[in-house]
């Protein structure tokens, strides 16, 4: 799993983790949010690009982000796409959480940002995907509060 950083280029998950910890350790007195979100985009009815973003947000003072891009053959239904997006975010969150607990940084709470909202076709899926996330032990955010998926990840799906 290779991530991209706009400033540092290609990075492994462990390198992303190390960079996040360095960032937090620069100003440990500040408040942080560790955000993971996935978005997708269909291209020419032949494949779908999924992008998972990892964001460390120093609340009120900016942040850093990293993203992982994966292409899949065309996924027929919106429901399948949203569930796959959620599972990709949960997979990265689980790997990241393991690294956090192994290295004494379990204090960082992880938020999963979902590309679903009360307006539009995804409103029927909110309860199910939020339930998946909460059942996995993470906080869930939906539109308009899910900028990890709807802004950061979305930017790299095109």
Side by side, which strands form the sheet with 110-113?
9-12, 2-5, 63-73, 47-58, 32-43, 110-113, 139-141
Please, which pLDDT band fits residue 107 given cuts at 50, 70 and 90?
confident
Cα separation, 122 vs 135, whole angstroms: 20
pLDDT of residue 34: 96
Cα separation, 40 vs 47, whole angstroms: 10
Average pLDDT of the residues in 24-33: 94
Taking the complete model, does pTM exceed 0.85, yes or no? yes
pLDDT of residue 74: 76
* The two three-digit tokens of residue 43, written as one number: 């291209």
**Residue range 65-85, pLDDT digits in tens:** 999 999 988 777 899 999 999
- The residues facing 38 across adjacent strands are 52
């Amino acid at each position: 799993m290779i991530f991209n950083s706009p400033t540092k280029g290609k990075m492994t998950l462990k390198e992303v983790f190390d960079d996040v910890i360095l960032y937090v350790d620069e100003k440990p007195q500040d408040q942080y949010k560790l955000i993971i979100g996935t978005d997708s985009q269909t291209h020419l009815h032949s494949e779908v690009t999924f992008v998972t973003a990892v964001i460390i947000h120093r609340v009120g003072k900016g942040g850093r982000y990293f993203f992982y891009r994966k292409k899949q053959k065309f996924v027929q239904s919106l429901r399948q796409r949203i569930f796959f997006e959620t599972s990709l975010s949960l997979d990265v969150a689980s790997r990241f959480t393991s690294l956090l607990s192994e290295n004494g940084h379990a204090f960082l709470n992880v938020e999963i940002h979902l590309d679903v909202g009360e307006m539009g076709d995804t409103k029927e899926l909110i309860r199910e995907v939020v339930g998946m996330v909460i059942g996995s032990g993470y906080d869930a955010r939906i539109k308009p509060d899910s900028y990890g998926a709807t802004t950061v990840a979305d930017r790299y799906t095109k």
